[in-house]
Each structure stands twice: as structure tokens, then as C-alpha cells.
Structure 1
Amino acid sequence: MANISPLLSLIAILLSSIMINHLPVASSKQWCVSKQTAKDEQLEDNINFACSNGIDCRPILPSGACFKPNTTISHASYLMNDYYQSHGRTNEACLFYFPNSGILTSTDPSYNQCIYK
């Protein structure tokens, strides 16, 4: 019986190691999305800014993967994030260019076929 205890200890250590290696890891990735309190006029300005500064706006068109829901806040969030991701993921690329309407989140806003970078 004395030899079983070290064996059980070794098994417990191995199982713990295996379990720890399979735990989900928190993502350090961030996304820039619209604040829920943002005004539609500001969000429309953000959409125009993104589309006129090299962001592909086709995903928010009626045939695009991010058209639905067909809301200003949803469309703006997608484009604001695309701008943020393509401009170095800096605080400035979200909070400076989208003042009072952009917010950083660590929760992936992707849904259905609309995949946020």
C-alpha cells in the first residue's frame, strides 16, 4: 500500500496538468464597437468616416453578411471595429476617431455570418 500513494500522487499531478492545459484562456484581443448611448447622427458620421478612409463597407450593404440587423448602431460597430483593427488596434484608432461613440470591449461582437476581425 505504501507504493500506491506515490503513484496516486503522480496520477493526480498528471491529471491536473492535463486539465490546466485545456482550460479556456481569456483573450487579450479587443474590438471597437459603438456605445449603446451613441446618437444616430454620430454613428452615421462614423460610418461615413470609415467608408471614406479605406474600410470595405460592402459587409453592411443589403447583400452583406453584416447587414442584419439593419440598424445604424450595428453597421457603425462593424465599420468602427474594422477601422480600429486595420489601424494598429490603438486606443486612438477607436477612442480618438470615434469620440463619445466608440468603446473598447474584450467580448467578441461577431454573430451569425458577421465575423469581426
Structure 2
Amino acid sequence: MAKSMSPLLSLIVILLSSIMINHLPVASLKQWCVSMQTAKDEQLEDNINFACSNGIDCRPILPSGACFKPNTTISHASYLMNDYYQSHGRTNEACFFFFPNSAMLTSRDPSYNQCIYK
């Protein structure tokens, strides 16, 4: 018959297991709303105009801004769409409703160089 652990030893094992589990790396729960690769430029331009006319600071995508390069519609739209999404509660509506057929959520941080996505 196998011997059972003493209550104190059992408690130590449980505590150590809990500590180890709580220190395991956890995938980020943060998400970013960005342009779909298949989105049409016309839709992305509409998204840029929508974001800029609805309170989003568009200076980062101007020639002197941190997110100007690459100077592409998809890159500029992604930055602004995400800024809108982040500043409007990170809801599905703030990504998909306002940027129909052109937005997607990603858990991979799209920041690059000095262009930092919120």
C-alpha cells in the first residue's frame, strides 16, 4: 500500500505548483485593429478620412510623422484604424462596423521602428 504524503508536504507541493503556474509566460490578450491585406485602396482611403474626421490624430502619418514610412495607404490606414479602435473601447464595433470589409484583429503588435501602435 502506498504511503500518503503528510499534510504539510501536500501543502508545500500545492504552493510550489501554484507559484510555478503563475510564472509561466502567458500570451498577450492585447489586440490591434489593422487593415486586411485584401482591402481595396478606395476603402482604406475612406477609413483614413473617417478616422481623421472623427477625432484621431493623423499627424503620425504625415511626411514628418513617425508612421509615414512606408508611405502606403494600407500602412497609414492600419495605424489610424487601430488608433480609432483603441480609443473607442476596443470593441468589435470599433473595428469591424466602422471599417467594413477592410479590418481584422491581430494579437501581433504591428509597431515598427518609431511607429508605436497603442
How many aligned positions are there? Answer: 115
Shift of 1:25: 1.7
SS in structure 1 of the partner of residue 6 of structure 2:
helix
Q: d(CA) in 2 for partners of 1:76 and 1:36?
A: 11
Q: Where does structure 1 lack aligned partners over 5 or more consecutive residues?
A: none
Deviations 1:36-71 (A, max 9, x none): 000000000000000000000000011111011110
TM-score by length of 1: 0.83
Q: Where does structure 2 lack aligned partners over 5 or more consecutive residues?
A: none
Shift of 1:10: 12
* Residues 9-18 or 56-65, more deviating: 9-18
User: For the structure 1 residues 63 and 17, does the alpha-carbon distance in structure 2 shift closer, same or farther, using more than 3 Å as the test?
Assistant: same
Q: Counterpart of 2:60?
A: 59
Q: d(CA) in 1 for partners of 2:7 and 2:93?
A: 56
The equivalences for 1:81-100 within 5 A come to: 81-100=82-101
Shift of 1:19: 6.0
TM-score by length of 2: 0.82
Q: d(CA) in 1 for partners of 2:54 and 2:16?
A: 52
